[in-house]
Amino acid sequence: MRPTWCSLAQVSLNNYLGQPLTTELELTTIAQSSATDARSWENSIETARTQRPEVRAAELRMKAGEEGVTMAKSAWYPQVSIGAHYNFNNPNQRIQPPRTQFDGTWDVGVNVSMNLWNWGITSEQTSQAELQVIQAQDAIGQIKDGINVEVTQSYLSLAQAKEKLKVAQEGIKQADENLRLTNERLKNGVALSTDVIDADYALLLTKTNLTNAIVDVELAVARLQKALGEE
């Protein structure tokens, strides 16, 4: 039976990864300084703003709105169309006098039209399209503001988790040294066996803290990657 602290850490990590809570996990690496450390907070923000799918989707909506404005404004200008026809008939009515044979004729036409009085429909459609663009711009701003907060929180959480990891690693060294000294004192008859048990238990607790700190760092890294749109 695993200790309670290990089970809780495993359940927490499985829950975040979206897999069965009873899945057995094995830590294959020790959390330590990595490329994430070298990435500045400013770079993290910029990365998230370019990689997050909701930002790209909002930008596409804004671009579509801008195209809608262009299409709406096009109604202010004349509409030009060009057409061409080719006839091959027997007899061909375009040839005079008519003759009993197949003849080919062709023609090209240019049509220019403009609606001079549309009761303000073009103006209304243009205003609606421009309003959609403004709404899309506001949506992008709100999304980016939310990303700023999420990335900042994830970045600071990772920094805090790594500080706790350093403390836990230092605690291991101190507890290990304390156990060594206690064993020496026991050999010299100046310590009791219960002192050794206490020191050994203290070392076990520091190892527990270290494992929890490792899990916290890995979770913090995963949250930051999610915030950056890298998952």
First to last CA, the chain: 33
Q: What is the structure's pLDDT at 181?
A: 92
- pLDDT tens string, the chain, 231 residues long: the values are 334 434 555 555 556 555 676 666 665 544 444 434 445 667 777 778 777 888 888 888 888 888 888 887 776 766 777 877 777 777 777 777 777 777 777 777 777 666 666 657 777 777 888 888 888 888 888 888 888 888 888 888 888 999 999 999 999 999 999 989 999 988 888 888 888 888 888 888 898 999 999 999 999 888 888 888 876
Alpha carbons 139 and 185: distance in angstroms, whole number: 68
Q: What is the structure's pLDDT at 213?
A: 92
Alpha carbons 206 and 169: distance in angstroms, whole number: 8
**CB atoms closer than 10 angstroms to residue 29:** 8
pTM of the predicted protein model: 0.55
- DSSP state letters, 36-105: HHHS-HHHHHHHHHHH-HHHHHHHHHHHHHHHHHHHHHGGGS-EEEEEEEEEEESS-TTSSS--SS-EEE
Alpha carbons 92 and 108: distance in angstroms, whole number: 17
Residues 40-75+121-228, CATH architecture: Up-down Bundle (1.20)
CB 206 within 8 A of CB 168: yes
Alpha carbons 8 and 31: distance in angstroms, whole number: 19
Residue that is written with structure tokens 């089970």 in the block: 7
Query: Domain locations in the chain?
Result: 40-75+121-228, 78-113
Q: What is the structure's pLDDT at 102?
A: 75
